[in-house]
Homo-oligomer: A and B are copies of this chain.
Amino acid sequence: MNKIKKTIGIDMDGVLADIEEQFMDWYENEHGIRVPREERLGVMEPEGFPDKGAVKRYVYTPGFFRTIPVMEGAVAAVKQLMEDYEVYIVSAATEFPQCLSEKLEWLAEHFPFISWTNIIFCGDKSIIDTDYLIDDHCKNLDFCKGKAIMFNASHNVNQHHHVRVNSWTEVLALLEKESLVGA
């Protein structure tokens, strides 16, 4: 590990993995209704669908985490970031025991270039110390030790106290700017 590189912690669900798309797909599959992002703005995931128990059921269903679609642009962007940063995947995963092996398999499929040494499955993220943390949840960003970067998601659109990025293209642009400032 190159100790000179700055470190970035990257969340999985809502950042690398498009969990909103997966929720919409699974909900449509079960209920025959597609609830678009626009109808769930500012609403936490479980409350965003008419059947309020659906989200909780899905996250405990085997296969749910294994089959989440990759967030657009994530693979190429992470590859690029790894040239200049030490990248860690930091997922709050211990709440859902069945998801641990699924998340490892998912990473092995879509991000095979990430070493096991750089994968962290945790609960709260308050003891994770990276220079940057890219995440979609304030419960993680509010307590992180480095610079918080909020990845846009329907549920977080009304939270404005962190720098927001709307896509992986914007992540790269922001960090490019940061490195120029820090140079």
Contact = CB atoms under 8 A, between A and B. Distances in A.
B129 A118 contact: no
Q: How large is the interface on A (under 10, 10 to 19, 20 to 34, 35 or more residues)?
A: 20 to 34
Please give the count of copies of this chain that the complex contains: 2
Contact of A9 (B88, B105, B115, B127): B127
A119 interface: yes
A118 B123 contact: yes
A94 B104 CA distance: 8
Contact of A94 (B9, B95, B119): B119
Interface in A5-30: 7, 9
B121 A100 contact: yes
A116 interface: yes
21 contacts: A1-B126, A94-B116, A94-B117, A94-B121, A97-B101, A98-B101, A115-B123, A116-B123, A117-B123, A117-B124, A119-B122, A119-B123, A120-B120, A120-B121, A121-B121, A121-B122, A122-B122, A127-B128, A127-B130, A129-B129, A129-B145
